[in-house]
Chains A and B, each alone.
Chain A
């Protein structure tokens, strides 16, 4: 069976500090991978998606970046965090590009920028 891991589970960082969130998927190969942010009282916002190693598409311009160094590893980074970066970050995977493919979400990382 497939599982998706995210860490850390919670993170408190000062403004201007760097960020690195990691997501890994087990039990499948060549998945589509996604990073979402969920701000308090807001819907999920797609930040990045990747259909393969080194292939990253950005949905929203911001001070965040994503990388996919391995097939089942997806990393979300920032060089300098802003207060507005606080939120619940979710990684997700899907099997492919079919219109009915379901996305499976990880447990999330709660980021607080102070």
Chain B
């Protein structure tokens, strides 16, 4: 069964600190992996996308890594800001636009 599991479920960090969110998947065949940021009550916005051959991808203070062998991905946020407070969703694509969504990690950046 295709599944995407994210950890932790929720996280509170102080403004300016770094954090790392985890994503483990059991999707086959694998096409690509995306990280989305979803502000409360809004639609998700794409942060990064990685294919099988890519190990890391950065978007400003966000850096995603992918280990296709262990089927793990992480999203590292550097020097967190209050605006980083949101849910972060890991999404794995299998086949033609078949997406498997994780349940997300809710991040709260505290001043």
- Indicate whether A and B interact: yes
- A residues with a Cβ closer than 8 A to B are 32, 41-46, 49, 88, 90, 92, 94, 97, 99-108, 110
Q: A38 vs B89: C-alpha distance in the bound complex, in angstroms?
A: 12
User: A32 contacts B43, CB within 8 Å?
Assistant: no
A-B pairs under 8 A by CB, number: 49
Pick from A42, A99, A108: contact of B31, CB below 8 A: A99
Interface residues of chain B, those whose CB is within 8 Å of chain A, are 4, 31-32, 34, 41-46, 49, 51, 89, 91, 93, 96-97, 99, 101-104
Residue of B with least CB distance to A45: B101
Minimum distance in angstroms from B48 CB to a CB of chain A: 10
- A97 and B104 CA atoms in complex are apart in Å by 25
Instruction: Specify which chain A residues have a CB less than 8 angstroms from the CB of B89 in the assembled complex.
Output: 43-44
Contact of B103 among A42, A101, A104 (CB under 8 A): A42
Q: What are the nearest 10 A-B pairs in CB distance?
A: A105-B43, A43-B101, A44-B101, A43-B103, A99-B31, A102-B46, A105-B44, A108-B43, A90-B43, A106-B43
Query: Is B101 within 8 A of A49, CB to CB?
Result: no
> What are 8 A-B pairs at a CB distance below 8 A?
A43-B103, A49-B97, A97-B97, A99-B32, A99-B96, A102-B46, A103-B46, A108-B43
Contact of B97 among A45, A94, A105, A107 (CB under 8 A): A94
Q: Which one of A41, A44, A100, A104 contacts B49 once the chains associate, using CB atoms below 8 Å?
A: A100
